[in-house]
């Protein structure tokens, strides 16, 4: 995409473009590692376009661009680890038990 076209995009459109380019770059890296990428110069072009988008966002006042994680609505409330976090009481009791086992 030309710089002129990037300047016409809004901040939300630029952020979406940034996310899409990162996804494309990841897919291209995987294909390249497997030897299936037909044109390796696409990697360079995508990296450069990401840099252009970041530059446009900085010029519009956004300091740091962080990729937005896309999770399904069903998993939005679920913890990332997938298990319940241990309480502080059980953790300290486990430490005391393991410390007592080390001394004997």
Question: Is a pLDDT exceeding 80 seen at residue 103?
Answer: no
pTM of the model: 0.60
Domain residue ranges in the chain: 1-65
Give pLDDT tens digits for 1-50. Answer: 788 888 888 888 999 999 999 999 999 999 999 999 999 999 999 999 99
Which residue did the predictor score with more confidence, 83 or 25? Answer: 25
Q: How many CA atoms lie within 13 A of 93 on its CB side?
A: 5
Backbone angles phi, psi at 15, to 5 degrees: -65, -40
Q: What is the pLDDT of residue 48?
A: 95
Question: Is a pLDDT exceeding 70 seen at residue 63?
Answer: yes
Instruction: State percent of the chain over pLDDT 90.
Output: 38
Which architecture does CATH list for 1-65?
Orthogonal Bundle (1.10)
């Amino acid at each position: 995409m030309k710089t002129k076209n990037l300047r016409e995009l809004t901040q939300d459109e630029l952020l979406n473009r940034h996310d899409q380019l990162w996804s494309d770059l990841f897919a291209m890296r995987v294909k390249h590692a497997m030897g299936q990428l037909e044109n390796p110069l696409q990697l360079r072009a995508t990296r450069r376009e990401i840099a252009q988008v970041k530059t446009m966002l900085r010029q519009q006042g956004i300091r740091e661009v962080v990729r937005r994680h896309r999770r399904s609505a069903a998993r939005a409330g679920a913890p990332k680890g997938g298990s319940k976090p241990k309480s502080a009481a059980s953790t300290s009791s486990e430490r005391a038990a393991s410390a007592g086992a080390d001394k004997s």
